[in-house]
Chains A and B, each alone.
Chain A
Amino acid sequence: MSKVDTIIAELEAISKNPKKAMDDFKAKTGKGAVGVLPVYAPEEIVYATGYLPIGVWGGKKQISKAATYLPAFACSIMQSIMEMEIDGVYDELAAVLISSPCDTLKCFGQKWKGKSPVIQFVHSQNRNIEASNTFMVEEYKVIREKLEKILGVTITDEAINNAIEIYNENRAVMRMFSDVVAMYPQIIDPIKRHAVIKARQFMDKAEHTKMVRELIAEIMKEAVVPYKGKKIVLTGIMAEPDELLDVFKEFDIAVVADDLAQETRQFRTDVPAGTDPMERLAKQWQNMTACSLATDRDKPRGQFIVDLVKKHGADAVIICMMKFCDPEEYDYPIMLEDFEKANIKNLKIEIDQQSVSMEQIRTRVQSFVEMM
């Protein structure tokens, strides 16, 4: 097994077994984990406690009990999280952080059915005024105080600033990884790419950075060769389950960049420099751009993706539309217009974590490849 395969296999194993990642972390540090629900949260504050921030983005799960608390039109991420929280899957988490960027999440934080204490917070939407920063600082202060109380720790400014540096370094390495994948799609297929990115949700970011840095160095020893298949940019909330990525592989589709909320949007925007860590974290939210969950009257997301396509010489865009995700559905017609104007081929597929049959998606993807 090559060094590249070994590192990827390790990251893939972590990405598929967050429970083990949490147990290993506990055994090593004596501390537990704090769950972080989609989409954005100041993970650095959690990291500064010494606990492991762990992504909670649902998974493939038969839904039955969740229907007691959620309407049928809640997205599948929320359905599966609710099902698993009722089943006690998250009860070992020391706390759970829940933001409120959409209607479902807004209500979700108010009816957590697991045993872990919940810390709910709100992102400001009038982001281009200074009051936004003031508001976010206050929200993050509440998170900090609640974490201190729940976990019985003191969180220093120094620890948060240190966490910010570790996170910014990971963000930079992940952006580099994404660009390297675009150069070597024959080595990193869509499933491997997703696994490397997803593993960062369940790992100490410093360790993840180290492994990805090593992976990049190994990949770059190889020669860059022309890719025989089609290169695409993904956008949406997430590109799961893996069976979907298998369909991409089946038709020689390489993911050369993404704008997925679960992937690149997590590391696209650095926390800016400064001294007060809370102000720095607040300003990161202000700097966030091209996201369906962050109000921006200029609607730059379509053009942002068009630029990604041009930068990486991609053949097209695939819109991974999370079923029942209002914010993404509202962005779609605007993006579509931008893609049409730029003459960029695009395909919309429906994402449902609970999908058991990929046939409808296979037909669309095959048609799309034939169209290109």
Chain B
Amino acid sequence: MYVLGLDVGSASSKVVILDDDKNIVSFSTVQVGTGSTGPARALEEVFKKTNGLKIEDMTKIVATGYGRYAFEKADKQISEISCHAKGIFHLVPTARTIIDIGGQDAKAIRLDSRGAVSQFFMNDKCAAGTGRFLDVMARVLEIEITDMAEYDSRASEVVNVSSTCTVFAESEVISHLSNNIPKENIIAGIHASVASKACGLAYRTGLEDDIVMGGGVAQNAGVVRAISRELRRPVIVAPNPQITGALGAALFAYDEAKKH
């Protein structure tokens, strides 16, 4: 038996296929999300990595993420809060607080000892503190987003970057650049800005250990360090953090399949 979880986010599409023992058979990520070719490409890619599996071989399919209702072949749609919680708890059973920063939103989730969601908070309608914020800043700094963590590790100090508005923060960064402040220090400031937004949500959960990060932004070690520094706690990064939502969706699909 095989099941599939599809996470159609605002900035990327992720797919996970599980087998009968909940092992990941294949997974894929494509860096474009809902309303684009991303979901179709992610599906094509995930099947290419298997030994000839096809979508018809999937016993159940669960979709999550911003574009969860746009995928007609899904048997069920489940919210990303539930899916990220399920995926991360499967990978890190000691997780009690989840910080998930995606392309367009940031979430803090509190789990109980069974992995059930007992509280969650999401960012308001604002790009500050999300993956999109980092995209904008990387463009201004003329560097690849994947290089930001490395720059951050070389920072000698953390400059102040606003966390209230992406556009204002962008002009602050431009101003720092024109004052010849090293990119490393500016990037550390950008990461601190993202961290302050995410931690504002996380504090409301009560912050029980272990604190685990998921979502695409967790791949940025600079943001993880900034969050850990702000919370004064260790932060565990979930393995393959970008696919934890898709993994959770696949686990829900697995549960559905086993019901019947």
Contacts and interface: CB of A to CB of B under 8 A. Distances in A.
Interface stretch (A92-100, A184-192, A364-372): A364-372
A357 to B, nearest CB: 9
Nearest to B118: A371
B231 interface: no
Interface in A339-360: 345-346, 348, 350, 352, 359-360
A336 B121 CA distance: 12
Contacts of B82: 367, 370-371
B66 A359 contact: yes
A367 B117 contact: yes
B139 interface: no
B81 A363 contact: yes
Contacts of A336: 204
B125 A370 contact: no
Given A370-B117, A371-B118, A360 B105 contact: yes
B79 interface: yes
Chain B interface, DSSP helix/strand/loop, else mixed: mixed
B120 A371 contact: yes
**Residue among A345, A352, A370 with the highest chain B CB neighbour number at 10 A:** A370
Contact of A371 (B80, B81, B105, B125): B81
Contacts of A115: none
Contacts of B105: 360
A349 B120 CA distance: 11
Contacts of B120: 367, 371
**Residue among B78, B105, B119, B121 with the highest chain A CB neighbour number at 10 A:** B119
A363 B80 contact: yes
Contact of A350 (B116, B124, B204): B124
Contact of B66 (A352, A363, A370): A363
Nearest to A364: B122
A364 B66 CA distance: 11
Interface string B197-209: 0000000100000
Contacts of A360: 105, 122, 125
Contact of B124 (A323, A346, A367): A323
Interface residues of A, number: 15
Contacts of A346: 119
A15 B23 CA distance: 55
Nearest to B122: A364
A352 B125 CA distance: 10
A350 B105 CA distance: 14
Given A336-B204, A348-B121, A360-B125, A367 B81 contact: yes
Nearest to A343: B118
Contacts of B121: 348
A335 B80 CA distance: 26
Chain A interface, DSSP helix/strand/loop, else mixed: helix
A364 B118 CA distance: 13
Interface string A43-59: 00000000000000000
Nearest to B120: A367
Contact of A367 (B66, B80, B116, B125): B80
Contacts of B81: 363-364, 367, 370-371
B79 A366 contact: yes
B60 to A, nearest CB: 17
A363 B78 CA distance: 9
Contacts of B122: 360, 363-364
Interface string B104-117: 01000000000011
A370 B78 contact: yes
Contacts of B78: 366, 370
A364 B109 CA distance: 12
Contact of B79 (A348, A352, A370): A370
B127 to A, nearest CB: 12
A350 B79 contact: no
Contacts of A363: 66, 79-81, 122
Contacts of B119: 345-346
Task: Name the 7 nearest CB pairs between A and B, nearest first.
Answer: A367-B81, A367-B79, A366-B79, A371-B117, A370-B82, A350-B124, A363-B79
17 contacts: A323-B124, A348-B121, A350-B124, A352-B125, A359-B66, A360-B122, A360-B125, A363-B79, A363-B81, A364-B81, A367-B80, A367-B81, A367-B117, A370-B79, A371-B82, A371-B116, A371-B117
Given A345-B119, A350-B124, 15 more contacts: A323-B125, A336-B204, A345-B118, A348-B121, A350-B125, A360-B105, A360-B122, A360-B125, A363-B66, A363-B80, A367-B81, A367-B117, A370-B78, A370-B117, A371-B81
